[in-house]
C-alpha cells in the first residue's frame, strides 16, 4: 500500500511541494507515568485527505492529535508537518508551524469575552494581519459558515452547532493546510452533527485542506472520511479506506467500534439458530458485501444453485462516500450440505466475508 | 454648600464645623482608598499573573519563582495591619519623605492590599479553562498574547469583583491608618466619636462609611455584570 512506503523517501527529503505529506509521524512514542499513550505510531496524511482517527476513550487519540501541533511532545520518534520536524522545536519556533494548523474542539473553546467576529479574528491578529484586512477576512469566513449575522454576538448567545461553526471559521482563518478536529461533533445532536460534517466536507473540497477527525463514532468516519485509522491502546491496529474497513474489519477493536453501525440478528431469529439441520430447516448465512458487488442479484444467484427461493432475513446496504457496503443475513431455502458448500464457494469472490451461521426453520 | 442650604438639610443634626470636619475626613478617606486601591491593582494583578503562570503546568512554569513569591505574599498577608503600619515606617519615609499624614498612609495600605488582591485575582485567573489556553497555544499565540487575549479578558469579571472586595476592605483599613496620623473618617471616629464621646460624629461616620461601601459594592457588581458575557 502506498501509504506505508513513506518511510523510504522521508529520510532523503526527496518529497517536495504538493507531493510532500502534510503530516508524517515516524515511530512516535508518548508515555505517561502510568501507561503508554502512544506506542510506536507511524502514519502519513496527504494533501486534501480527510482521515478519521477512531478509538475508544483512552486509546490515545487526543494525545496523538496534541502531538501534531506540539501541545504535547512525544518522547520518541519524529513528527513532521509539511516537511518540518516539530518534535524538537522550542515553543517559540513551533508558533509559525501552529499558525498553519487549525484546530476545532468538542467544547468549541471560544473566548467568552470576545464577540464572534473577534474570536474568528484572533488567529489573524496573532499572525499580525492588519485590522482592516482582518475584518474583511472575518466576514468572508462568517459567510462561509453561514453566520455573518452573528458577528457582533457573544458565544454564549449561540447554539452548540453555531458555536462549532464559529470554531471552524476560527480554525480556517489563517488558511491552514491541516485541520485537526478533536471530537468536534461529540457534543452535538444528530441533526447538528450532520450539518457540521457537511460543512467540513465542503471546506475540504473548496479549500483543499487536510482534515484529521478524531472521533469515537464510526458513523462520523463513515460519512466524511476517505481513510480511517483505528487506534487501540496507543497503537494503530487497523488502517485503510473507510469502505474497506467498514465492510471487512480485521480486528476485534474495529468490530466493536462498528457495533451498532452494522446490523446484527434480532433476538428471535438468533434463538432459532441450530448448529445442525433439523427436518425442513434451511441454512442461514451471513454475507458481507462491498462495492459494485454489493448490488449483484444475490438471491437469484443462490436460487440458481440450490433450486430453492432464497430469502433476505435481515440486514441491508449502506453507503460510504458513494460506495455501497452492507451485511446480509440470507436464508438459503435448503439445508443440503452440497448446496451450502456450492453457495459459499460461488459467492466467495464477490463478498468480503461469508459465513454459515447455522440452520433455522424454512418458514421463519 | 451655602449656609442656608446647610441649615435646612443638616442643621438639625450637627454644627457647621462638625460638617466641615466630616467632609475633610471623607475626602481624605476617598483619596487614601483610591490611591492605594489603584496601586494595589497595578501591583497585585501582575503578582497574580506571575503566581498563576509560573505554577506547575503554567505557561511560564518556574516553581522557584512561584514558591518564593507565594511565600512573600503569604508573609505580607499574615502581618496584622496595625503592625504593618508601624513596621512600614522606614519604607514610607524613604518613599514619601514622611511617615505621617494621608499620603504616607498609602504605603502601608498598599503593602496590605496588593498581596490581598493578588490572592483574590489569582483565584479568578485559575478559573479560566485550561482548554482556552490550549486553544490559543494551538493558534500559535505567544505567551504574552495568551495573557493579553485570553487569561486577563476571560477572568475580567472575577478580577473586577475581586477588586471591589479589595476596595471595601481598604475603606475599613484606611480607618486604622488614623493611628499614624493619616486622617480620614476613621481618625475622626476615634478622636471625636470614641475619645470625646461625640455620638453624633460617631453615627455620622458610620453612616458615611456604610454609604461609601454600598456605592462601591453596587458599582463593582454593575461593572462586573456588564463585562460578563459568559451567560447569554
Q: What are the backbone angles phi and psi of residue A260, rounded to the nearest 5°?
A: 95, -25
> B 120-149 residues with CB below 8 A of A?
129, 131-132, 134-143, 145, 149
Tally of CB atoms within 10 A around A1? 7
**Residues facing residue A286 across a β-bridge:** A329, A355
- Judged against a pLDDT cut of 80, whether residue B191 lies above it is answered with yes
Nearest to A114 among B131, B139, B153 (CB): B153
Contact (CB<8Å) B131/A109:
yes
Give the tens place of pLDDT for each residue, A6-36. Answer: 433 333 444 455 678 999 999 999 988 777 7
| pTM: predicted TM-score of the whole model, two decimal places | 0.83
Total residue length of chain A: 364
Cross-chain Cβ contact B135/A103 below 8 Å: yes
Decide if A95 touches B, using CB distance below 8 A.
yes
Do residues A228 and A249 both lie within one domain? yes
For the cut 70, the answer to whether the pLDDT of residue B166 exceeds it is yes
Interface of B with A in 3-22 (CB under 8 A): none
**What residues contact residue B66 under an 8 Å CB cut-off, 6+ apart?**
B50, B51, B54, B55, B56, B58
Q: State whether A197 and A83 are in the same domain.
A: yes
The residues that bridge with A59 in the sheet, in sequence order, are none
Inter-chain CB proximity B131 and A113 less than 8 Å: no
Q: A319: domain CATH number?
A: 3.30.70.260
Output the domain CATH number for residue A246. Answer: 3.40.50.300
Q: What is the pLDDT of residue B31?
A: 94
Q: Is A113 within 8 Å of chain B by CB? A: yes
Residue A96: list chain B partners with CB under 8 A: 140
Most confident of A161-170, B87-96, B172-181: A161-170
Of A213, A230, A258, which closes a domain? A258
Provide the pLDDT for residue A10.
39
A163 within a domain of the structure (yes/no): no
Number of Cβ within 10 Å of residue A230's Cβ equals 26
What pLDDT score does B179 carry?
62
Classify residue A238: in a domain, yes or no.
Answer: yes
Per-residue pLDDT at A313: 92
Domain boundary residue, one of A258, A287, A303: A258
Q: What is the residue range of A52's domain?
A: 2-100+176-258
DSSP string, A125-136: HHTT--HHHHHH
- Average pLDDT value for residue range B58-73: 96
Q: Is a pLDDT exceeding 60 seen at residue A259?
A: yes
Of A92, A94, A154, nearest to B229 by CB-CB distance is A154
Q: What pLDDT, on the 0 to 100 scale, is given for residue A18?
A: 61
Which of A213, A228, A258 is where one domain is finished?
Answer: A258
pLDDT of residue A1: 40
Q: Is residue A309 part of a domain?
A: yes
Same domain, A326 and A202: no
pLDDT at position A16 is 52
Looking at the fold, whether A321 and A214 belong to one and the same domain comes out as: no
Q: How far is B151 from chain A (nearest CA, A)?
A: 10
Number of domains in chain A: 2
Residues of chain A neighbouring B57 (CB-CB closer than 8 A) = none
pLDDT at B112 over 80: yes
If asked whether residues A229 and A343 sit together in one domain, one would say: no
Together in a domain, A354 and A324: yes
The rounded mean pLDDT for chain A is 89
CA distance A95 to chain B (A): 4
| A319 and A251 within one domain | no
Average pLDDT, chain B: 91
Classify domain B15-227 by CATH number.
1.10.3720.10
Residue A18 lies in a domain: yes
pLDDT of A284-299, one tens digit each? 999 988 888 888 999 9
3-state secondary structure chain A: CHHHHHHHHHHHCCCCHHHCCCEEEEEEEEECCCCEEEEEEEEEECCCCEEEEECCCCCCHHHHHHHHCCCCCCCEEEEEECCEECCCCCHHHHHHHHCCEEEEECCCCCCCCCCHHHHHHHHHHHCCCCHHHHHHHHHHHHHHCCCHHHCCCCHHHCCHHHHHHHHHHHHHCCCCCEEEEECCCCCCCHHHHHHHHHHHHHHHHHHCCEEEEEECCHHHHHHHCCEEEEEECCEEEEEEEHHHHHHCCCCHHHHHHHECCECCCCHHHHHHCECCCCCCEEEEEEEEEEHHHHHCCHHHHHHHHHCCCCEEEEEEEEEECCEEEEEEEEECCCCCHHHHHHHHHHHHHHCCEEEEEEEEECCC
* Domain shared by A284 and A227, yes or no: no
The rounded percent of chain A whose pLDDT value lies above 70 is: 95
Residue A159 domain-assigned? no
CB-based contact A71 B138, cutoff 8 Å? yes
> Hey, is the C-beta of A99 within 8 angstroms of any chain B C-beta?
yes
Q: Which of B146, B163, B173 has the alpha carbon at shortest distance from B37?
A: B163
For residues A249 and A287, membership in a common domain is answered with no
Q: Residue B107: how many CA atoms within 13 Å on its side-chain side?
A: 21
A89-116 mean pLDDT:
94
A160, part of any domain:
no
To the nearest 10°, report the CA torsion of A281, A286, A291, A297.
0
Amino acid at each position: 500500500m502506498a501509504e506505508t512506503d513513506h518511510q523510504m523517501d522521508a529520510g532523503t527529503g526527496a518529497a517536495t511541494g504538493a507531493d510532500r505529506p502534510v503530516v508524517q509521524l515516524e515511530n512516535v512514542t508518548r508515555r505517561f507515568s502510568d501507561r503508554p499513550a502512544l506506542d510506536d505510531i507511524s502514519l502519513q496524511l496527504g494533501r486534501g485527505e480527510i482521515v478519521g482517527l477512531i478509538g475508544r476513550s483512552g486509546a490515545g487519540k487526543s494525545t496523538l492529535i496534541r502531538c501534531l501541533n506540539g501541545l504535547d511532545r512525544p518522547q520518541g520518534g519524529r513528527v513532521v508537518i509539511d516537511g518540518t520536524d516539530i518534535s524538537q522545536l522550542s515553543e517559540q519556533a513551533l508558533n509559525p508551524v501552529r499558525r498553519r494548523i487549525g484546530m476545532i474542539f468538542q467544547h468549541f473553546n471560544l473566548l467568552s469575552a470576545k464577540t464572534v467576529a473577534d474570536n474568528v479574528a484572533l488567529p489573524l491578529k496573532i499572525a499580525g494581519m492588519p485590522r482592516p484586512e482582518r475584518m474583511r477576512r472575518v466576514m468572508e469566513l462568517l459567510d462561509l459558515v453561514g453566520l455573518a449575522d452573528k458577528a457582533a454576538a457573544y458565544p454564549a448567545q449561540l447554539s452548540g452547532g453555531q458555536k462549532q461553526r464559529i470554531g471552524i471559521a476560527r480554525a480556517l482563518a489563517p488558511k491552514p493546510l491541516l485541520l485537526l478536529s478533536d471530537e468536534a461533533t461529540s457534543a452535538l445532536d444528530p441533526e447538528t452533527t450532520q450539518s457540521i460534517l457537511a460543512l467540513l466536507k465542503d471546506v475540504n473540497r473548496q479549500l483543499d485542506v487536510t482534515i484529521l477527525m478524531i472521533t469515537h463514532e464510526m458513523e462520523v468516519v463513515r460519512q466524511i472520511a476517505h481513510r480511517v485509522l483505528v487506534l487501540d491502546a496507543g497503537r494503530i491496529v487497523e488502517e485503510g479506506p473507510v469502505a474497506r474497513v467498514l465492510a471487512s474489519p480485521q480486528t476485534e477493536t474495529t468490530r466493536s467500534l462498528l457495533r451498532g453501525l452494522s446490523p446484527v440478528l434480532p433476538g428471535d431469529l438468533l434463538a432459532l439458530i441450530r448448529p445442525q439441520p433439523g427436518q425442513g430447516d434451511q441454512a442461514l448465512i451471513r454475507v458481507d458485501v462491498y462495492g459494485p458487488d454489493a448490488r449483484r442479484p444475490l438471491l437469484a444467484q443462490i436460487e440458481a444453485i440450490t433450486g430453492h427461493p432464497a430469502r433476505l432475513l435481515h440486514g441491508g446496504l449502506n453507503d460510504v462516500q458513494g460506495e455501497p457496503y452492507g451485511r446480509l443475513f440470507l436464508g438459503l431455502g435448503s439445508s443440503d450440505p452440497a448446496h451450502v458448500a456450492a453457495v459459499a464457494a460461488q459467492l466467495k469472490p464477490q463478498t468480503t466475508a461469508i459465513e454459515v451461521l447455522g440452520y433455522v426453520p424454512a418458514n421463519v | 454648600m451655602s449656609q442656608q442650604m446647610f441649615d435646612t438639610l443638616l442643621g438639625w443634626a450637627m454644627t457647621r464645623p462638625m460638617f466641615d470636619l466630616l467632609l475633610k475626613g471623607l475626602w481624605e478617606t476617598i483619596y487614601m482608598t483610591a490611591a492605594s486601591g489603584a496601586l494595589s491593582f497595578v501591583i497585585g494583578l501582575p503578582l497574580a499573573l506571575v503566581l498563576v503562570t509560573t505554577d506547575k503546568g503554567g505557561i511560564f512554569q518556574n516553581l522557584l519563582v512561584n514558591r518564593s513569591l507565594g511565600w512573600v505574599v503569604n508573609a505580607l498577608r499574615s502581618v496584622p495591619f496595625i503592625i504593618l503600619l508601624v513596621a512600614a515606617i522606614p519604607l514610607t519615609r524613604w518613599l514619601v519623605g514622611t511617615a505621617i499624614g494621608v499620603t504616607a498612609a498609602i504605603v502601608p495600605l498598599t503593602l496590605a492590599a496588593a498581596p490581598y488582591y493578588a490572592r483574590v485575582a489569582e483565584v479568578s485567573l485559575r478559573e479560566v479553562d485550561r482548554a482556552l489556553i490550549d486553544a490559543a497555544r494551538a493558534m500559535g499565540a505567544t505567551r504574552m498574547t495568551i495573557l493579553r487575549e485570553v487569561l486577563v479578558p476571560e477572568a475580567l469579571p472575577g478580577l473586577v469583583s475581586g477588586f471591589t472586595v479589595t476596595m471595601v476592605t481598604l475603606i475599613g483599613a484606611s480607618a486604622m491608618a488614623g493611628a499614624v496620623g493619616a486622617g480620614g473618617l476613621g481618625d475622626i471616629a476615634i478622636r471625636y466619636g470614641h475619645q470625646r464621646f461625640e455620638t453624633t460624629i460617631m453615627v455620622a461616620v458610620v453612616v458615611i462609611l456604610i454609604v461609601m461601601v454600598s456605592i462601591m459594592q453596587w458599582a463593582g457588581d454593575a461593572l462586573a455584570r456588564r463585562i460578563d458575557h459568559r451567560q447569554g
